[in-house]
Amino acid sequence: MNRFVFADPNRCIGCRTCEVACVLSHSDDNSVTSIDPARFNPRLKLIKNAKVTTPVLCRQCEDAPCAQVCPNNAIVSEGNQIKVIQSRCIGCKTCAIACPYGAMTVVTDMVDNGVQNPLFSTKVPKAQALKCDLCSDNPTGPACVQVCPTSALQLIEAEDLTIINKKKREAAAESIAAVAAL
């Protein structure tokens, strides 16, 4: 089973600390002062409405619809997570349409045009898919989980899901037993 970050909407206060931590963990210098508002692209999105506030993140699906529809095989399953290989991504947006959670974003970034001659080297816009990568370069795990002030985010492993499901089944059995006792 792939690991994923679970967001508990009952604990989320909508502070957006997770979004800032995400952007910083994927920046070159991890400095708040270097964040360019035009390039503020967190890999999770906070959703707010009248009834709920919660971050939406990639669920690292086992049979990932985004990977199935990618025409360049830029989205792959590797090491218990779904990864985007940016060098293969053409920014076609089919992954964003296929994602059932709305967790895939396509952003435009300025990249080198690949020309070696400094006279002709320039930056060109390139659309590319962006999604939660579980902060795979961070040995301590996802930055959003570490900074959440209410512990609304947690990294779920296969064992955790088994324990959560067991507790839910036990609670359901106790509820049924209480009703049957009436």
pLDDT digits (tens, 9 = 90+) for 135-175: 998 899 999 999 999 999 999 987 888 898 899 999 999 99
- Global confidence as pTM: 0.82
Q: List the CATH number of the domain containing 4.
A: 3.30.70.20
Domain total for the chain?
2
Q: Is the pLDDT of residue 35 over 80?
A: no
Instruction: Please tell me the predicted confidence (pLDDT) of residue 107.
Output: 93
Has residue 162 been placed in a domain?
no
Give bridge partners of residue 76 from the DSSP assignment.
83
> Bridge partners of 109?
126
Domain match, 68 and 116 both: yes
Q: Identify whether residues 127 and 64 lie together within a single domain.
A: yes
Q: Domain range for residue 152?
A: 1-57+135-157
Give all strands (DSSP E) within the chain, no chain letters: 4-7, 45-48, 53-56, 75-77, 82-84, 105-112, 123-130, 153-156
Tell me the C-alpha distance between 70 and 65, whole Å. Answer: 9
Based on the fold, state whether residues 151 and 93 are members of the same structural domain.
no
Across the range 61-69, mean pLDDT stands at 96
Does 43 share its domain with 70?
A: no
Whether 101 maps to a domain, the answer reads yes
